[in-house]
A and B are shown apart, each in its own frame.
Chain A
Amino acid sequence: MASMNQTTQFDLARQTVREANQFLHDVLEGGLEDGNVHQVEILHPDGNHSIAAGIDADVVVDIRGHAGYFVAGMNCRATVTVHGNVGWSVAENIMSGSVRVKGNASQCAAASGHGGLVVIEGNASSRCGISMKGVDIVVGGSVGHVSGFMAQAGRMVICGDADAGLGDSLYEAIIYIGGEIRGLGADAREEPMSRGDVATVAELLEQARLPGDPRQFKRIASARTLYHWNADAGQEY
């Protein structure tokens, strides 16, 4: 059972993801009575899927190694750190709290996230922040193709480069990028950085504890030409 100032450990070489997640869900959801934040450490993740998914608790989770798909999916309030790489869809549909990946993330990082902060210290692959709905994402390295696709709200800071199709069909999310853009997606455009934008990048880099000069970033936002049906367009398929 949980007690104050104690770290609960799960070793996935001997225990199941189900056991770890059940603890994170049932035991901690009400919060600790003494108001302390509980710590949970997960050893030997070995690429298993859905580790620490569906938490709704003030808990600090450290995953020691490479994890699989859907790590910390739907996260509420928890602070989850993966000391390794993650597979597809880390922090998918995150609502609040924060998820940090010390290594690289595979596709669809923070997909459809509503709130909270997702930090990928290494590179994120394709479709990072696809359909994000309010989450903040900071990527220390580069992102793969079609990142920020149909992103609706929130901010994504990319310190490195972006592959083709960045911000394709963007809605109102804003992308800030420090490196090279290997192709913008349809309806995404570069806009001038305002003082407010520089302050936003500085604030997000600070929250992410990642280095970078906010003044060197470019702002990518929607040109909003896809918002309305254009009956005059050729419509040739």
Chain B
Amino acid sequence: MCGIVGLLLKNESMREQLGELMVPMFTCMAERGSDSGGCAFFGDAEDPTWRRFNLYVSDRAYRWQTLFDAFETAQGQQNGAGARFHTLENHAVLITNDDPAAVRAWLDGRDPKVHLMSVGRSMDVYKDVGDPIEICTRFRFAQATGSHCVGHTRMATESAVTPVHSHPYTAGEDFCLVHNGSLSNPYMLRRSLERQGIRFETDNDTEAACRFLEWRLSAGEDLSSALTSAFSQLDGFYTLLMATGDQVCLVRDAFACKPAVVAETDEYVAISSEFRALAHLPGIAAAEIFEPKPEEIYSWQV
């Protein structure tokens, strides 16, 4: 059992309230998964040459400044590109217009304790092990703003409980995925992707689905056609909720073993494992509420 939540605001004037609306959804679904939690928030996109690198260390007293100083020094020696930093406990965002591949390589060779969680123009990812309600408070989810978000509360069933194993999973840029269920062929998928040169960070089944989809996306497919390929390749149980910079997408496996419910109004689309996580939303009484069908692709554009 795990809990998933997603919220896409159609009404731009509600963007300041994204976190505020999402927090009760997330804390309610903490009952479905209490060992880890996380959420990806999508805000205004950086300029095309800039990227947001979300970083994580398990040490909550980590001295980020040392890392940032080293980054600026390295930049200064090259081309003097710009950089900004935000930190919140053991989470940091490095925002820079340096070449993304070069930044990835620099981070890779730096402090092995620092984990790169996501790269993108509009996405920030917060995740950790521990009580999801506490994670929500620590990372100030209630203050988050933006157009959409997807969150996950985990009850691990098939791989370790570590920060890296918690959801959302990310791959490529501005793409993340949360999963309720378990895949039965992740190693097969993984081997075929590794032959394409794709690197994995964990032994988790969800990561295989995430990297598979991103592999299709990076080949130029849109999310719908990537998911059509996924239906024939992924074996097992899954409700998958995905987000890109401008889209939220939801699918369930052929047996629809894992729950999902959608509530849609003129103002928002809200997705959750269970209705009770949506009961507090404004205008819910008049919302169109439905259960997604197996192997059908549901997507909503920002």
Q: Chain A interface (Cβ within 8 Å of chain B)?
A: 46-49, 66, 68-69, 85, 87-88, 104, 106-107, 125-126, 144-146, 163
Contact = CB atoms under 8 A, between A and B. Distances in A.
A47 B279 contact: yes
Interface residues of B, number: 16
A66 B294 contact: no
Contacts of B138: none
Contact of B275 (A68, A107, A145, A146): A68
Interface of B: 255-256, 259, 261, 274-280, 289-291, 293-294
B276 A46 contact: yes
18 contacts: A46-B280, A47-B277, A47-B279, A66-B275, A69-B274, A85-B289, A87-B259, A87-B261, A88-B259, A104-B289, A104-B291, A106-B259, A106-B261, A106-B291, A144-B256, A144-B291, A144-B293, A145-B256
A145 B294 contact: yes
A69 B32 CA distance: 13
B210 to A, nearest CB: 26
Given A106-B261, A126-B256, A68 B276 contact: yes
Nearest to B31: A49
A48 B256 contact: no
A232 to B, nearest CB: 30
Report which residue of B277, B278, B291, B294 has the largest number of chain A beta carbons within 10 angstroms of its beta carbon. B291
B294 A126 contact: yes
A66 B256 contact: no
B24 to A, nearest CB: 11
Given A46-B276, A85-B275, A107-B291, 17 more contacts: A46-B279, A47-B278, A66-B279, A66-B289, A68-B274, A85-B289, A87-B259, A88-B259, A104-B290, A106-B259, A106-B261, A107-B259, A125-B256, A126-B256, A144-B256, A146-B255, A163-B293
Contacts of B290: 104
A71 to B, nearest CB: 12
Contacts of A107: 256, 259, 291
A47 B256 CA distance: 20
Interface centre among A49, A68, A87 (most CB of B within 10 A): A87
A48 B291 CA distance: 17
Contacts of A125: 256, 291
A47 B276 contact: yes
Main DSSP-derived SS at the A contact region: loop
Nearest to A13: B279
A10 to B, nearest CB: 16
A106 B294 CA distance: 13
Contacts of A163: 293
Contacts of A46: 276, 279-280
A220 to B, nearest CB: 21
A227 B51 CA distance: 63
A61 to B, nearest CB: 19
A22 to B, nearest CB: 20
A48 B289 contact: no
A107 B273 CA distance: 13
A88 B291 CA distance: 11
The 5 closest A-B pairs by CB, nearest first: A47-B276, A47-B275, A46-B279, A47-B279, A125-B291
Contact of A47 (B255, B274, B291): B274
A68 B28 CA distance: 13
A49 to B, nearest CB: 8
A87 B275 contact: yes
Contacts of B256: 107, 125-126, 144-145
B259 A48 contact: no
Nearest to B294: A145
B244 to A, nearest CB: 28
B8 to A, nearest CB: 20
B242 to A, nearest CB: 22
B289 to A, nearest CB: 6
Contacts of A49: 276
**Which among B259, B275, B280 has the highest number of chain A CB atoms within 10 Å?**
B275
Contacts of A68: 274-276
A232 B183 CA distance: 35
Nearest to A66: B275
B27 to A, nearest CB: 14
Nearest to B277: A47
A155 B82 CA distance: 71
A59 to B, nearest CB: 24
Nearest to B289: A85
A69 B290 CA distance: 15
A25 B275 CA distance: 26
Nearest to B284: A66
Contacts of B291: 104, 106-107, 125, 144
A86 to B, nearest CB: 9
